Amino acid sequence: MKMKKEHLHIVEQVAPGSIAQELEIEPGDAVAAINGNAIEDIFDYQYYTQDEYIEVLIRKTSGEEWLLEIDKEYDEDLGITFANGLMDEYRSCRNKCIFCFIDQMPEGMRDTLYFKDDDSRLSFLQGNYVTLTNMSDEDIDRIIRYNLSPINVSFQTTNPELRCKMLNNRFAGQALEKAWRLARAGITMNGQIVLCKGVNDGEELERSIRDLSEFLPNLESVSVVPVGLSKYREGLFPLEPFTKEDAGQVLSMVHRWQDKLFREQGVHFIHASDEWYILAEENLPEEGRYDGYLQLENGVGMLRLLLDEFQEALDTLKRTKGVEIPARELSIATGKLAYSFISDMAGQLMAQYPQLAIHVYPIQNDFFGELITVSGLLTGQDLLAQLKTRQLGEKLLLPQNMFKSGEKIFLDDMTLDALEKALQVPIDIVKSSGQDFLDAIVF
């Protein structure tokens, strides 16, 4: 068998009763090829193992090679889990964006927090946003061939020269053509614009919205989010925070385009993140404005969804007979961005159930700077410093997004156990839905 390049993927687990177990594939063995094709990553693997008949080249831990001929059902899984879920190394970002938050972090944090990914495969698997500057024509071909959708794209601007400046990459303007290739091939995309004051706002934002609307319907949505500015910006591109007046102007433009595109296309398409409404002191849009919440991970509609889910859960609880709500005192800590909304929901619960005493505390982000107001960037040390003298009740509730994915560790590596011991109060982690919020308080 002739191979252009050898790619070995180590088997970590074999599912009991699977095809792989039946064929005596074991942890530690390596998949070297399928149907004579080198396997670059998980997408190659899934593509080549779909057929009813496949040939898999296995290299045993002894060095012996087995060529296995497999008859199976179409799309039937072999039952193999690999040591690396992507089956390849992550691709790091080649840009030096003027707004990059990783460049605004202090030294001494865990290494993984400094890794800048720009990998289209992670966009498909995990929803990460990519700039397209790190993608070759072959990468684009693979996305089209495997029909990998949706792909999330960080556009920032459709002005090629300005995009080169913002990303500090001389190829950043050309990369926009790759988005057109994906759109013409029917690949679904969602877009993002990180707005920087005096750089890509105003007329440049108008141009970007107009240009990106031409990608409809394959570009389903575009979010506009304000640049996050930490206190660690020495030596970086000078950026200023947006004001209330600025936020009002951004929302006026977004709403004008939403109305136009909804009349013409039936979708609102361009969306402002929740921060803009809070900064402008304007009411959040109703659910129908969000086109099914396509941009939740960018903070677009997250608060509206939370409020609506909570209201539905509370109304259901009111109608439910025989439910006893015990007397309870507890506390909630959140970022300044969501504080007024969390406080309002807690107030509704206490008004309905006077036996509840709920303390809601807004935590200022001293670690990254007070301009960072989201709960997901709060650290254990800020929580400890600002809660240690507070009345916390029988337990403290913290949102799930404060923690490292799958672990009970804050951004500064303080553990949940350490914070519990320091505050001398049990801590419950609350998932993101309004129902979860209500359940964590009343049950």
Predicted confidence at residue 126, as pLDDT, reads 57
47/44 Cα distance (integer angstroms): 5
Using CA atoms, how far apart are residues 328 and 219, in angstroms rounded to an integer? 48
**Among residues 99, 164, 90, which one has the least CA distance to residue 120?**
90
Joined tokens for residue 316: 């259901």
**What tens digit of pLDDT does each residue of 177-212 get?**
999 999 999 999 999 999 999 999 999 999 999 999
Calculate mean pLDDT across residues 105-129. Answer: 70
* SS3 state at 105: coil
Starting at the edge strand found earlier in the chain, the sheet holding 270-272 runs: 129-130, 151-154, 189-195, 219-226, 270-272
pLDDT of residue 119: 56
Mean pLDDT for the stretch of residues 374-382: 96
More confident residue, 127 or 140: 140
Which residues are registered as beta bridge partners of 368? none
Residue 307 pLDDT exceeds 70: yes
Classified as helix, coil or strand, 137 is helix
Q: Which band of pLDDT confidence, cut at 50, 70 and 90, is reported for residue 432?
A: confident
**DSSP letter assigned to residue 288:** G
DSSP helix/strand/coil, 82: strand
The average pLDDT across 47-61 equals 92
Question: How many residues make up the chain in this entry?
Answer: 443
Of 78 and 110, the structure prediction assigns the larger pLDDT to: 78
Q: Average pLDDT over the chain, rounded to whole? A: 92
pLDDT at 5 over 90: no
pTM of the shown model:
0.85
Give the DSSP letter string of 28-65.
T-EEEEETTB---SHHHHHHHT-SSEEEEEEE-TTS-E
Nearest to 432, CA basis, from 330, 296, 295 = 296
Rounded to whole angstroms, how far apart are CA atoms 243 and 231? 17
Residues 6+ apart with CB under 8 A from 189: 149, 150, 151, 152, 153, 179, 182, 183, 215, 218, 219, 220
Q: Report the CATH superfamily, name and number, of domain 9-82.
A: PDZ domain (2.30.42.10)
- pLDDT tens, 211-265? 999 999 999 999 999 999 999 999 999 999 999 999 999 999 999 999 999 999 9
pLDDT average, residue stretch 403-418: 91
36-40, 87-91, 180-184, 205-209: least confidently modelled range: 87-91
C-alpha to C-alpha distance for 421 and 305, rounded to whole angstroms: 34
Distance CA 173, CA 163 (A): 6
Residue 1: what pLDDT? 38
- The answer to whether residues 346 and 336 touch, using CB atoms and an 8 Å cutoff, is no
Are 306 and 437 in contact by the 8 Å Cβ rule? The answer is yes
What confidence score (pLDDT) does residue 111 get? Answer: 78
| The architecture CATH gives domain 102-298 | Alpha-Beta Horseshoe (3.80)
- Pick the closest to residue 326 from 296, 369, 356, 302 (CA basis): 356
| Domain 305-442 sits in CATH 1.20.58 | no
The pLDDT value given to residue 104? 94
pLDDT at 4 over 70: no
The whole-number pLDDT of residue 2 equals 39
- Where do the structural domains in the chain lie, given as residue ranges? 9-82, 102-298, 305-442
| 389, 382 contact by CB (below 8 A) | no
Per-residue pLDDT for 398 more than 50? yes
Can the peptide bond before residue 217 be classed as cis, meaning omega within 30 degrees of 0? yes
Contact 227, 195 (CB under 8 A): yes
What angle separates helix 416-423 from helix 380-387, to the nearest 10 degrees?
Answer: 10
What pLDDT was estimated at residue 52?
Answer: 93
Residue among 123, 32, 151 at smallest CA distance from 82:
32
User: Is 50 exceeded by the pLDDT of residue 162?
Assistant: yes
